[in-house]
Chain A
Amino acid sequence: MAAIIEVRNVSKSFETKKGEVKALENINLTVEKGELLCIVGASGSGKTTLFNLIAGFEQPTSGEILLNNEVVTGIHSNATMVFQQYALFPWKTVLENIEFGLKMKKISKKKRREIADEYIKLVSLEGFENSYPKELSGGMKQRVSIARALASDSDILLMDEPFGALDAMTRQIMQEQLVKIHEQSKKTIVFITHSIDEALLLSSRLIIFTSRPGRVKSELINHLPKPRTADVQISKEYLELKSMTWETVQQEVLNQIES
């Protein structure tokens, strides 16, 4: 398989009033084409920062990031972001938000509408096509932002806790949808989550970050059989993986709280 994202010796620090904050330290990471990679890490461990670097919103303090073997030097549209804060355009309706990426690709109005309708159905927002974001609940906004990213159909998806605001039931449905989409489309997905269960359910590989500054603490290939039904989730193998992951994450969360 070919590497689609390569993160090489990347460090990122921020200058703040209180001095320098080291968000990422010497990250090395290769994402293969078609992978569904989950990143787990304590709050503040630099996960969003890594996404911002991959999307080209910010430049690494040192090191470099390659996308399809090309160094990222600025903002580009090769990796679509699902923002942790949704980032919906408040002046656009649900439909117009979902159509945005397609509009940027100069796809015709009619075709745009067709595709957007498909994704409205996918995230079950029928009847809200003409609502503005202010009229939606947090979970609904999150679904619009997912639909907007999926509709634009880029090869790489960077999803920053995309299901965080969803209730348990909706979340499970969305997880199943994402797995299906991933299997059908062969997209490369990098997925940040706080939920170990979610990571084990979705990922083909899982990466755990240390607490600040973020480093890759451990990596785990997820061989759990697919589809990862309820049966799989009570299997011995699953539980072992889960407790192993949990121990690693727990250590880091404790470090974070102590510091």
Chain B
Amino acid sequence: MTSFHNSPTLANQKNTNNFPKRNQKSPPKRKKKKFTLSLKIVSILSFLSFLAIWEIITQMGFIPPLFLPAPSQVVVRGYQMLIDGELIGHIFSSSRRVIVGFLISALAAVPFGILLGSSKTLKAIFDPIISIIRPLPSMAWIPLSLLWLGIGEEQKYAIVFMGSFAPALLYTIDATRSVNPILIKAARNFGASNLTVMREVILPGSMPSIFAGLKVVLGLAWTTVISAELVAANEGLGFLIMNGKEYFMTDVIILGMAMISLTVIIIDIVLNWVEKKIIPWREET
């Protein structure tokens, strides 16, 4: 084999190169930033006027507070419950259920999914079970889980697990299979073994889709936990809403709904941040 790695002449040739240097930063970007900023202001204003209209309509007495309380009433209720610690307790217990159930299912589904995604035989073995479980809405598991596990925390974790496992598995299988085949060829062309292809290409290559899938699954986990709490629980945001209904405290219902929405939004922001940190190379699509 002839090697020219050690030939000094190559390195010296760069002096003759006259590549046009490219500028990385272009001015139009700043303009775009300004534009998106003003769009954000529009969104905030629209949200505030929505609240204002709601407030005015309810304050003027067109709608009875039992039917729909004013936003200010919800805020006052929220403040009270925040002070006495009740609200945080509900948020915390729902979040804990979601996170524990979701993490267990992700920890099981992702490795299993990568395995199924890269082996046609394994996929064939598990296909029947998966295709039976897949169409089941997670709520369908509630009666059985209550019967098996009662109304305690285990049942909540189990129901979130059941609701998240199948979708997480399917997203992972898809992600593993959608790794651009030309990249696998390129790696093999440089002499990568099957194991190396797995480590160097399939694992990193499927990360963005796995992550995107898990974000959807986390949303599903929230749906599941709230439904489970609506049916049987003595704490959590789902319980809070249901309890509000029992005592005709509409402001508590609205507060609970707003808290679910807020928690999910915050988790989403955190996840997007984490995604940028662990997948900095992600290509916009």
Contacts and interface: CB of A to CB of B under 8 A. Distances in A.
Interface string B253-285: 000000000000000000000000001111110
Interface stretch (A35-43, A80-88, A235-243): A80-88
B204 interface: yes
Interface in A48-105: 55, 57, 75, 77, 79-81, 83, 85, 87, 89-92, 100-101, 104-105
Interface stretch (A9-17, A179-187, A196-204, A210-218): A179-187
Interface stretch (A18-26, A115-123, A251-259): A115-123
Interface stretch (B57-65, B101-109, B126-134, B190-198): B190-198
B20 to A, nearest CB: 7
Interface residues of A, number: 42
Contact of B14 (A79, A122, A152, A167): A122
B198 to A, nearest CB: 14
Contacts of A79: 189
A173 B18 contact: yes
A133 interface: yes
Contact of B281 (A100, A133, A186): A133
A140 B190 CA distance: 21
B2 A186 contact: yes
Contact of B1 (A80, A104, A155, A181): A155
Contact of A118 (B5, B200, B279): B5
B143 to A, nearest CB: 44
Given A155-B1, A184-B9, A170 B186 contact: no
A75 B14 contact: no
A182 B239 CA distance: 74
B9 A83 contact: no
A165 to B, nearest CB: 14
Interface residues of B, number: 39
A101 B5 contact: no
Interface centre among B7, B19, B280 (most CB of A within 10 A): B19
Contacts of A134: 281-284
B204 A152 contact: no
A77 B7 contact: no
13 contacts: A55-B185, A57-B185, A77-B189, A77-B190, A90-B282, A91-B279, A100-B200, A104-B192, A132-B280, A134-B283, A153-B5, A169-B20, A177-B13
B22 interface: yes
A124 interface: yes
B147 interface: no
B4 A184 contact: yes
Contacts of A250: none
A104 B18 CA distance: 32
Given A91-B279, A104-B191, 11 more contacts: A80-B190, A83-B186, A87-B180, A87-B185, A89-B186, A89-B201, A100-B187, A122-B10, A133-B281, A134-B282, A173-B19
B17 A173 contact: yes
Nearest to B181: A57
B190 A100 contact: yes
B190 A121 contact: no
B281 A90 contact: yes
Contacts of A104: 187, 190-192, 196
A254 to B, nearest CB: 31
